[in-house]
Structure 1
Amino acid sequence: MESKRQRQVAKQIQKDLGEIFQREMKQVFDKAFVTITDVKTTPDLSLARVYLSFLLTTDKEGLLESIREHSKTIRNHLGTRVRHQLRIVPDLQFYIDDTAEYAQKIENLFAGIVIPPAPPEDEDEE
C-alpha cells in the first residue's frame, strides 16, 4: 500500500521526467516518442521504478538500453527540477510498460472465441 507522500512524489517524478524526455533528452531517442506511463517509489523514496511506453520505434529494447545508459544524465536533470521538493533524488530504474500490448493480445483472444448459440427450448411442454 502506497502512502500519500509516495503517490505525490511519484506523480511529480512522472511529470518532470515527461518534460525532460520531451525537451532535454529528445536527441537521445531519435524520432521515437517516449511516454512515462507509471512511476512507483519505494517507501523511503530512494528508488523510483519508471515504466515507459514507446511509439514510432521498432527496437524497444535498444531504446530502453539507451535510456538506461543515460540514466545519470536523466537523474541529474531530475535533480535540478526537484531539488527544493525532495531531500534525496531517487535512483531511477527503467522498465518497458507492456500493459497496452498485453491488453491488445487479450482482446484478440476474446475476439477469436466462437460461442455456439444456445439450443432452442422445447415448446411441447404445455
Structure 2
Amino acid sequence: MESKRQQKFAGVIQQDLAAIFQREGINYLPNTLITITKVRVTPDLAIARIFLSFFNNTNSQLALQTIKSHSSEIRYKLGARIKDQVRVIPQLEFFVDDTGEYVERMDKIFEKISKEDRQPDTE
C-alpha cells in the first residue's frame, strides 16, 4: 500500500517524465509514442519504477532497452525539472507495461469461449 506521499511524488514524476518524453521522445525512439502508464515509488523515494507503453512500435523490448540506455540523461532532465520539489532525484527503473497485450489476449479467449457451442443445461 502506497502512502499519500509516495502517490503524490509518483504523480509529479509521471507528469514531468511525460513532458520530457513528449518533447524529446523523438530523439530516443523516432516514430514511436511513449506513454507512461504507471509510476511506483519506494517508501524512501529513492527509486521510481516507471511502466511504459509504446505505440507504433513492433519490438517493445528493444524500445525499452533504448530508453534504459538513455536513463541517466532522462534522470538528469527530470532532476532539472523537480530539483526544487525534492531532496534526492530518484533512480529510474523502466519496465514495459504489458496491460494492453494482456487485455487483447483475454478478449481473444472470451471471444473463443462465446463462439463455442453451448451445451444445454441438464437438470
TM-score normalized with structure 2 length: 0.92
Q: Distance in 2 between matches of 1:96 and 1:5?
A: 25
Other-structure match for 1:54: 54
User: What secondary structure sits across from 1:51 in the alignment?
Assistant: strand
Q: What is the aligned partner in structure 2 of residue 94 from structure 1?
A: 94
Q: Rg larger in 1 or in 2?
A: 1
Distance 1:66 1:119, change over 3 A: closer
* CA RMSD between the two structures: 1.4
| Structure 1: tracts of 5 or more residues without a match | 122-126
Please tell me the residue identity of whatever aligns with 1:70. H
Displacement after TM superposition at 1:117 (Å):
4.7
Give the TM-score taking structure 1 as reference length: 0.90
Give the aligned partner of residue 65 of structure 1: 65
**Cα distance change on mapping 1:15 and 1:115 into 2, 3 Å:** farther
Identity %: 43
AA matched with 1:62: L
Q: What is the rounded CA distance, in whole Å, between the counterparts of 1:80 and 1:31 in structure 2?
A: 26
- Paired amino acid for 1:102: Y
Quick one: distance in 2 between partners of 1:32 and 1:56? 5
- Aligned partner of 1:103: which letter? V
Tell me the equivalent position of 2:43. 43
**Structure 2 residue runs without a partner (length 5+):** none
Structure 1 stretches of 4+ moved >2 Å: 117-121
